[in-house]
Amino acid sequence: MKKLSFISTLTLLCLLLSVSSCKKDEAAADSGKGNLEIEIDHLAGTEGLVLGTKYVTAGGDTVSVSKFQYFVSNIVLIKSDNSEYVVPQDKSYFLVKESSVSSKLLTLTDIPSADYKGFRFTIGVDSARSRMEESERTGALDKGAAALDMYWSWNEGYIFFKLEGNSPQAVSMMDTADGVTLHVGGYGYNGSPNNLRTAEIISANGVATVRSNVTPEMHVIVNVLDVFDGPVKLDLAGHAMTMGGTYASVVADNYKDIFKLSHIHND
């Protein structure tokens, strides 16, 4: 009832002001729901990331990437009036993999019609979900399928972010001498480091107009070389084998800022 009376007041207000094309008006008139797509492109510099290709990092290391994947979860959409829509928990876990085209298109369904200027999300899997019964760990979180290589069974919890590859600068204790392994997890169990990071992407111009008949797309770009070039320029010589541990937090601080909005289109 409250919502209805709010909508009618708004409509009345618009009528009174004789505003002919008010976006808010349009959204309010469409009281239904729609979908929103988030498409993620992985780049190396300005070009598309090509697995196995050699790149040079900000720290001067040469690196090629063989695997690049991470969890996107707990998405909160931000409307142009700064109010927020929290995507329901059960529909808010995605595992993005460079090797899987379909995984790079995140489709959010049943989103209230509104104008959205951006979103906020967790890189990783929150502590509550990390401790849930196995039956609550489905879809992207199923370690028997999608999340097969994204779980630490020795240190209960998901691997939030995984970048693997090779670098001549890498000095590894393992037999793969030039192997680069950056695995980050850790949700802060019992005082341990919390490597969950939140990213926020806000559009400087243009909004995604979700309507029952309009499914906008937000295009997000991720420059994989930015992982190596954050608050700390990653030093592969010393840290090529990062599987959790203290350096994982350094990597997490770097990758929390790699997500950039390229553009939005509403057609």
Partner 1 sequence: MKCVCADSCHCLTSVVMKIHLILLATVMVLLTSCGKDPMAERAFEVAIPANFPEMKHEVKFTKEGFNLGKKLFYDPILSRDNTISCGSCHQQHVAFSHADHRFSHGIDNQLGKRNATSLQNLMWNQDFFWDGGVHDMGQIPFNPIQNPVEMDEDLAVLLQKLRANDEYRRMFKSAYKEDTINLAYFTDALSQFMGALISANSRYDKYVRGEGGQLSETELRGLTNFKAKCSSCHATDLFTDNSFRNNGISTSIESDKGHYEIVLLPKYKGTFKVPTLRNIEKTGPYMHTGSFNTLEEVLKHYAQGVKQTETLDKALIKEDGSLGIELSETEQAEIIAFLKTLTDEEFLNNKSFSE
Interface positions with partner 1 (CB under 8 A): 131, 133-135, 137, 142-145, 148, 151, 153-156, 186, 189-193, 244-246
CB of 127 to partner 1, least distance (A): 11
The partner residues of 54 in beta bridges, in order of sequence, read 64
The partner residues of 42 in beta bridges, in order of sequence, read 222
CB of 191 to partner 1, least distance (A): 6
Nearer to partner 1, 47 or 136 (CB): 136
Nearer to partner 1, 17 or 145 (CB): 145
Structure-token match 């979700």, residue found = 210
CB of 157 to partner 1, least distance (A): 9
How many angstroms separate the CA atoms of 207 and 92, rounded? 21
Beta-sheet pairing, 197-202 with 62-79: unpaired
Contact 117, 79 (CB under 8 A): yes
Nearer to partner 1, 37 or 142 (CB): 142
Radius of gyration of the chain (CA): 21
How many whole angstroms from its chain centre is CA 186? 17
CB of 187 to partner 1, least distance (A): 11
Per-position b or e across 114-145, b if 16+ CB within 10 A of its CB: bbbbbbbbbbbbbeebbeeeeeebeebbeeee
CB of 242 to partner 1, least distance (A): 12
CB of 163 to partner 1, least distance (A): 20
Nearer to partner 1, 131 or 233 (CB): 131
Nearer to partner 1, 34 or 186 (CB): 186
Nearer to partner 1, 168 or 193 (CB): 193
Distances (CA, A) of 27 to 69, 88, 133, 212, 213: 36, 21, 39, 10, 12
DSSP reduced 3-state for 78: strand
